[in-house]
Amino acid sequence: MTEFLKQTIGRRAVLGAGLAGVSMLAMPSILRAQDKSLKVGVYGGYFKDSFDKNIFPEFTKATGIAIEAIAEPTGEAWLVQLEQAAKAGQAPADVSMMSQVAMLKGQATELWAPLDVAKIKNASNLIDRFVNKYPDGRVAGIGAVSWYITLVTNTDVYKEAPTSWAAFWDPANADKLGLLALVSNSFLLEVTAKTYFGGTNALDTEEGLEKAFAKLAEVKPNVRLWYRDEAQFEQALKSGEIPMGQYYHDVTGLAAADGNPVRSTFPKEGGIQDSGCWALSRASQKVEEAHIFIDYMSQASIQATLSRKVGTAPTVKRELTDLTAEEFAAVSSDIEPIIPRYDLYQTKSDWLNQKWTELIVG
């Protein structure tokens, strides 16, 4: 037995443990950070990797609060998990990045702890629409990141950039478009309303929605691909197989920078601006840390870093950031954006989904 022990704990292991201990002491920030920590949910994959690399270590250095990043699934699965856990008094993540529809659904069950804006002094930097509020005015979430879906074209096929979403309706573009396949991620109803009916308010009534659906039906003969998988469209756009469509502004810009014959255009009606909020679960015990985190993330300089490193559009006012015109254009535009009608996807989701599926499949 003693022989056995002697063998396993060798010189090497003792040295190694000693070294690890010394380096722990040499980095007091880690020790200090251990008592202050925060679990942050971010979309898994690209987002989480970028945040882990570019944002969270700096935050820990600045505030001494350690971040445990949790990869959250996209879609509503994460909302459901947070909801179930909160009922049991648990918070799988304290602060989570949530889609706008998920914010509204969480509001319905009071899932989000109201935020104290007095403790988030950088919140005043934000563009107003990025402050997510309960109907009674309490703040439910603070804009984390935003991104644009724009009109994209293959430059070999379209020498001139189109200027309006109306290009989707042009009979000359028969069988040339690639559009997102779901009502809740393509936001084409909003595009139709803004382009032809004066704004997304036209979708307030059922007749307005019916009119938008009828107008959208005219696009169908032009659509070659309704995509769920982004790679499928991106490839076809680059090769010119499907030379026009809707796609993410920043990704298209990166593809163009790599030498692919593609361009992203903000139509005169505006690009579609989607966004995510930071929201605090009501079951979280880390209210103080969460406010510090959200405040930190709302700084103009951090938003600028996100634009440069992650490719998201700033949620703070442009003039506060030090983004150059070129850097800003790579992620955003001054043209007034089309803001999706998230409320509809909460209150009428099944009806919209059924109408939409019948429209494109039927």
Partner 1 sequence: MRREAPHRLADYGPLFFPAMMLIVFFVVPFATMIAVSFFQRQQGGFYVPAFELANYQRFLSLFFANVLGFSLMLAIAVAVCCVVLAVPFTYLLTRMARKVQVVWLVALLSVLSLSEVIIGFAWSTLFSRTAGITNLLVMAGLMSEAKALLPSFGAVLTGMVYQAFPYTVLVLYPALVRLDPTLTEAARTLGASPVKAFFTVVVPALRNTITATLIMVFIFALGSYLLPQILGRPQHWTLSVLITDQAIYQSNMPFAAAMAVFLVLVTLGLVALTVIAGRKGEAA
Exposure on the CB side of residue 56, measured as CA atoms within 13 A: 19
Q: Which is nearer to partner 1, 105 or 249 (CB)?
A: 105
- Residues 109, 115, 119: CA angle, nearest 5 degrees: 175
Compute the distance between CA of residue 259 and CA of residue 248 in angstroms, rounded to an integer.
17
Q: Which residues bind partner 1 (CB under 8 A)?
A: 75-77, 80, 83, 104-105, 108-109, 181-182, 184-185, 224-226, 228-229, 232, 236, 239-241, 346-347, 349-350, 353-354, 357-358, 360-362
Q: Which is nearer to partner 1, 124 or 239 (CB)?
A: 239
Q: Which is nearer to partner 1, 244 or 292 (CB)?
A: 244
What is the nearest approach in angstroms of partner 1 to the Cβ of residue 223? 9
Q: Which is nearer to partner 1, 224 or 291 (CB)?
A: 224
What is the nearest approach in angstroms of partner 1 to the Cβ of residue 128? 25
Q: Which is nearer to partner 1, 318 or 348 (CB)?
A: 348
Compute the distance between CA of residue 82 and CA of residue 86 in angstroms, rounded to an integer.
6
What is the nearest approach in angstroms of partner 1 to the Cβ of residue 343? 10
Contact 92, 283 (CB under 8 A): no
Q: Which is nearer to partner 1, 334 or 350 (CB)?
A: 350
Give 3-state DSSP helix, strand, coil % of the chain, rounded to 5.
Answer: 50, 20, 30
What is the nearest approach in angstroms of partner 1 to the Cβ of residue 353? 6
Distances (CA, A) of 61 to 32, 53, 84, 110, 341: 11, 13, 33, 33, 39
What is the nearest approach in angstroms of partner 1 to the Cβ of residue 190? 18
What is the nearest approach in angstroms of partner 1 to the Cβ of residue 258? 18
Contact 176, 329 (CB under 8 A): no
